[in-house]
A and B are shown apart, each in its own frame.
Chain A
Amino acid sequence: MAANPMTQFEVYRIGPEIKIGTFDISFTNASLFMVVSSLAILIIFNLGSKKNSIIPDKIQLLAELSYTFVSKMISDTAGSKAKPYFAFIFSLFMFVLFSNMFGMIPYTFTVTSHIIVTFVLAAFIFIGVTIIGFIKHGFGYLKLFVPSGVPIVLLPLIVVIEIISYLSRPVSLSVRLFANMMAGHTMMKVFGGFVISLGIVGGWLPLSFSVALTGLEILVAFLQAYVFAILTCIYLNDALNLHH
């Protein structure tokens, strides 16, 4: 049954089939963990912002540290102009982080290990950033593709490369997160399978690997959420402060 390491990524329906027109929007295990992650974030941050005491307790400190962490990240990479987008990047970072972290609990489902989820997020960011760029700079935003100080001869080539690199942003952003999550979880599953198949005699080695991998995957879960958020900030920075 669980011999195939990919079965952990299977999506199945929970409850009845819901259809709007021809679209199937049934509640699945993926939906469940999206709801769980969002609820966990809301509960933690609601508790953390409820008391508003001058000397914070643990949960308030957690909420405030997260707030200052994300706020510092945004102001460092995108400057003060990115302040209106703080709530979005905060939600994004927290959503990805909590989805990744919930995925580390055995028998759960990792929402971010699905390319469609990460791609929708990345595409939304890409489209949003592009719209912001055009609103802020008009057609001057196209100067993004023309770096300054490039010889005229090389310009056509550079512009093409810049356009390709710009268009590949949502792909790289989504695939980075998806691939990291999927690879890590697959690897853990494979090592877990080795523990069972090698039994009590030889199973200790893959077990120790599994333990080490768990630590690594928790690090990766945080790091990928951070990378996802910081790349969003960098793209936003390009749109807000046109450097070229």
Chain B
Amino acid sequence: MIKKIFFQFIFFNFFFIKEVFAAESGGMPQLDPEFWISQIFWLTLTFGILYVVLSKLILPKISANLELRKSQIQENIEAAEKQREDSEAKLKEYDEVVLKSKLEAKNIFKDAREKALKDINSKKEILDEQINEEIKKAEQEIEFLRKSAPEKINRIAIDTSSDLIKKLIGTEINSSSISAIVDDLSKRNGDKYYGS
């Protein structure tokens, strides 16, 4: 406030004593009224033209451009937002598809596994049956062989014994008596040889 009053004081002083200042050679050229009218005229002219051209031609263009940019940026942001949403939805869809296909793959795998296991089991059963049959057959054969073995051995023993006796003592001995002895022997020692 004091500053303002001070300036006012100076200003009004200038007004009152401007004649004195203007008369002096070292005064302020600002207070020489010689060109005041000229300055007012040119100021009005140049500032007027500046104002008219700026307000009618240039500023509306700048304003329009700023608005355009603003709206464009807004539009772009909206479009980007929309695309983001779209991509999110697509991502979700993709995830679902992946999940579904994973499940499917699991199921297929499970099925295949079960089927394979079933196959293997059935084949195994068949194989087991065959093997059992074979084993049974073989056992029967063995049994048969085992049963028939002592008789053959006895016969061989009887033949051999009769041949031996013939060669030793030169007389024919009744084969029935030899067989009786062999039978007797084999019965006693049969277990030792055949392990029935």
Contact = CB atoms under 8 A, between A and B. Distances in A.
B14 to A, nearest CB: 7
B38 A26 contact: yes
A60 B51 CA distance: 19
Contacts, number: 144
Given A42-B54, A172-B4, A176-B7, A24 B34 contact: yes
Instruction: Tell me whether chain A's interface is mostly helix, strand or loop, or mixed.
Output: helix
B38 A25 contact: yes
A45 B65 CA distance: 13
Interface residues of A, number: 55
A27 interface: yes
Interface string B56-76: 011101111110110010000
B19 to A, nearest CB: 16
A168 B14 CA distance: 16
Interface stretch (A86-94, A127-135, A214-222, A236-244): A86-94
Nearest to B36: A116
Given A6-B28, A28-B35, A172-B7, A64 B62 contact: yes
Interface string B1-33: 000100110110010000000000011111110
A175 B7 contact: yes
B43 interface: yes
- Greatest chain B CB density within 10 A among A41, A49, A60 is at A49
A90 B37 contact: no
Contact of B39 (A67, A88, A117, A168): A117
25 contacts: A6-B28, A9-B28, A11-B29, A23-B41, A24-B34, A25-B41, A28-B38, A30-B35, A31-B46, A46-B58, A49-B58, A49-B65, A52-B61, A60-B65, A63-B62, A87-B51, A87-B59, A90-B59, A91-B51, A91-B54, A111-B43, A115-B31, A116-B30, A116-B39, A117-B43
